[in-house]
Amino acid sequence: MRDSIRRFFARSMKPADSVVEEDNRYRIHVAACALMLELAYADDHFSDLERSQIEAVLQRHFALDEETARSLIELAESERRTSIDLYQFTSLIRDNYDLGQKTLLAEILWGLILTDGRIAQHEGYILRKIGNLLDLEPGYLSQARARAETRE
């Protein structure tokens, strides 16, 4: 995973002062994107609207251009397909995000679920599982959902 991330971002972004910090940041971006994709596929239909939502989130929150966001989605999709479970993604985020960042990610994930106007049973289950793996209390997930619903 690390080599593919380095190659991807070496093509797409300026090198940072610290290669280790940069590598870790990009791994976190891939992990967050993989979680978004997992939710997008939860109802067995990854729509163009969901793809657009993920691209917009990546551009806005990770300061990526459109082409880089699309490449990140492709890389995260590859990592998601070959992963055994969500732990490799959630553990990376859990260990590197503070509570505010985790709550914002939960809000983004809720927004993605609400993109199609309904919450499929499996989507809610996966998001609760992700929240648990991120060590987010159920109250934080509820607050994130409420904020996402008011934005819709």
CATH of the domain at 75: 1.10.3680.10
pLDDT < 70 positions in the chain: 1-20, 152
Quick: pLDDT tens for 39-57. Answer: 998 888 888 899 999 999 9
pLDDT at 68: 92
pLDDT at 42: 87
pLDDT at 16: 46
pLDDT at 44: 80
3-state secondary structure of 86: coil
Q: Yes or no: say if 53 and 152 are a contact pair by the CB < 8 Å rule.
A: no
Q: Yes or no: say if 1 and 33 are a contact pair by the CB < 8 Å rule.
A: no
pLDDT at 60: 93
Provide the residue range defining the domain that includes 57: 2-151
Total structural domains in the chain? 1
